[in-house]
Amino acid sequence: MNFRRVLLRSAAAALLPLGAMNVPAAQAQAVRDLPDFTELVERSAPSVVNIRTAERARRAAGAPNMDEQMLEFLRRFGIPVPNQRGPRGGGEGEDEDAPQRRGVGSGFILSADGLVMTNAHVVDGADEVWVTLTDKREFKARLIGADARTDVAVVKIEASGLPAVKIGEVSRLKVGEWVLAIGSPFGFDSTVTAGIVSAKARDTGDFLPFIQTDVAINPGNSGGPLLNMRGEVVGINSQIYSRSGGFMGISFAIPIDEAMRVAEQLRSAGKVVRGRIGVEPVDVSKEVAEAIGLGKPAGALVRRVLEDSPAEKSGLEGGDVILKFDGKAVERAADLRRIVAATKPGSKVSMQVFRRGAYKDLPITVAELEDESARRNVEPAPKPAPALGLAVTDISEAQKRELKLRGGVRVESVEGAAARAGLREGDLILAVDNTEIQNAKQFHAVIAKLEKAKLINLLVRRGNVVNYLLLRPGR
């Protein structure tokens, strides 16, 4: 018994100190494993700038004043902004055409000689752009260029010896990796927030696969850098998802490699030139992939080929699935848009398509994507016929040949009388009251000449079946 008690006391004496020692040791190890951002911030913060803008615009008398941070948020998310007076309310003697303080954002220094990158929406509509460094020096900036499609802008200040950022590699960025943001949320300069990468290649836009993080981003952070633990810029903080107007745990950054490609074009030409082939692509669903024998949902399904476009000239048809473009795999419709946009106009490339159970390679010459105004002129939205409750568009020549049609129009949307008559989106209208229809322009001309309350017979093709539908306008 005595020997046993000696053994137990010895074991207790050995175990208790060990346990007591392990608890603080484990805590100390956990503390050591937490990221330390202090040195990173000390190195990177001087490269981050505050950007404020001003514009010359007449203000409506008596319009309410709003904080410029809230204005920046409203503009960013497409909420109408009421007309504003000057920052002091605008007295009777105030020069309403003088530059008025309008909004604030963030940016970062690209080069020692004063190139600064920010978001396009930060400088959009500004007559004056002012850049403030961390040492409180302020410079009036000159806009080099801005690209609204990617939300990237480059401005220039006259300074030298500035601390430029280091550019990182987005391909090395991993989901779960620590990242931090530096910016001026609500005007609080050099504010640091941290989090992790939540997802990569998040599709929220046509041309950019965004980096999603849980880093706190608020109005004023726009245009500031997203940094990895090596102090390298991997993105530009640009958007948030919010139902309240404030940060809700989801923010998006423009990948820096995409932004740098845009910046190079802005610096060299003042604008960004993109490729275009003239298709309307959509994702391939699992059900469609199985039905057409593709096997797995991949590629971009061509819903529509625009008339007189590179796609039409290449022989591309509606229903084709584009799997590769210029040797690059196309997994989704967004991939096709980005790959085509990044292709130099005039380039002749090959694309692999899946058509009715077979793979085909088609050559295509990429055209230049026009600006928004030019696109609206070339490709107007379908004109609705209010009395009928439907909108129609032309059928391309390639589609006519494929469907063995002489003419007709495609139904783009239906409501009201057209829906009640049984018309559906995608139907082809071949004739109206026994008049053959060649295009949308003629369709509207024929409809305009008909009696308002007359019952109209439409010859409609749906799939391979042709039938008459009776439609009474306004009923």
Question: Is 220 known as a binding-site position?
Answer: yes
Confirm if 458 and 471 have CB atoms less than 8 A apart.
yes
Q: 133 Cβ partners below 8 Å, 6+ apart? A: 46, 49, 139, 162
Active site residue 222: yes
Q: Which of 44, 47, 147, 151 is catalytic?
A: 151
Q: Which of 44, 106, 121, 427 is catalytic?
A: 121
Active site residue 121: yes
Confirm if 120 and 152 have CB atoms less than 8 A apart.
yes
461 burial via Cβ count (<10 Å: 0-12, 13-18, 19+):
middle
Q: Which of 47, 222, 251, 314 is catalytic?
A: 222
Q: List, in sequence order, the alpha helices (H) in 222-367.
A: 256-269, 286-292, 310-314, 333-341
Q: 469 Cβ partners below 8 Å, 6+ apart? A: 421, 422, 423, 457, 458, 460
The rounded distance, in Å, linking the Cα atoms of 261 and 265 is 7
Question: Is 221 known as a binding-site position?
Answer: yes
Confirm if 93 and 127 have CB atoms less than 8 A apart.
no
The residue among 61, 67, 166, 54 whose CA lies nearest residue 100 is: 54
* Assigned token pair, 188: 């609080």
Q: List, in sequence order, the alpha helices (H) in 309-351.
A: 310-314, 333-341
Q: Which helix (H) or strand (E) holds 74?
A: helix 68-76
Question: Is 151 known as a binding-site position?
Answer: yes
Active site residue 238: no
Confirm if 183 and 194 have CB atoms less than 8 A apart.
no
Which residues participate in catalysis according to the annotation? 121, 151, 222
Binding site as annotated, residues for substrate: 121, 151, 220-222
